[in-house]
Amino acid sequence: MLAVIAGHVIGLMIPESWTEAMGINEHTYHVLTLPLSLVAGACTIVGLALLIYRRRTVTRVLERTSTGDKIMYVFLGLAVTLGVLASWWASGIFNDGHNYREDVSVWFRSILIFQPDGAAMAGAPMWFQLHAIAGMMLFAIWPFTRLVHVFSAPLQYVARPYVVYRSRDAQPTGNRAPRRGWEPSRRD
């Protein structure tokens, strides 16, 4: 997902004219990025499948699965699957390929500057349109689902002191003498 996010930031936010000014033409850009896109997309599908399998098979996780989670999986699954289909479409492996930086990216940036350019997206191939709809719907339900945790990363965990768990047993470490600092706490 991190590679997919990086790919979206680069592909949607950097105008084609900028990369061309750097001497990277359209063909070179796609030769460089498409293999990465396809690998990242395939890894995302496999990761999603593994997580759904875990949610179904681990009783502890299944018991805590809400209707909201299931709805979210449908939207997430749609966005990811349609994204991979759009990526295949762009790749040119099965057809003539498509340069989404001339329509989808232009449309996406137009929204960010509050001047939506629907015409730019109207000419894009169907897989890109469906993928963008699925992506936008996922963004809309995002705050009401478990995905909201994305915005509450526990960054302070990196710097916080260890939580030391100590057993109250008299001899917690079997026959070995406890290491310094790990002696059982006294119960007074």
Nearer to ligand HEM, 148 or 166 (CB): 148
**Nearby residues of 92 by Cβ (< 8 Å), 6 or more positions away:** 30, 34, 98
Task: Indicate the burial class of 133 (C-beta count within 10 angstroms; 0-12, 13-18, 19 or more).
Answer: middle
Nearest Cα neighbor of 92 from 14, 27, 7 is 27
Site membership for ligand HEM, residue 37 (CB under 6 A)? yes
Token reading at 105? 């990216």
User: Site for ligand HEM (CB under 6 A): how many residues?
Assistant: 28
Could you say which DSSP state residue 171 is in?
A: S
Q: Could you say whether residue 8 binds ligand HEM (CB under 6 A)?
A: yes
* Of residues 123 and 178, the one with the C-beta less far from ligand HEM: 123
Smallest gap from residue 118 Cβ to ligand HEM (A): 13
Alpha helices in the chain (DSSP H): 2-13, 16-21, 26-57, 59-63, 67-91, 104-112, 118-122, 126-141
Site map 70..109 versus ligand HEM, x via CB under 6 A: ------x--xx--xx-xx--x---------x---x---x-
**Binding residues for ligand HEM, per CB under 6 A?**
4, 7-8, 11-12, 33-34, 37, 40-41, 44, 76, 79-80, 83-84, 86-87, 90, 100, 104, 108, 128, 131-132, 135-136, 138
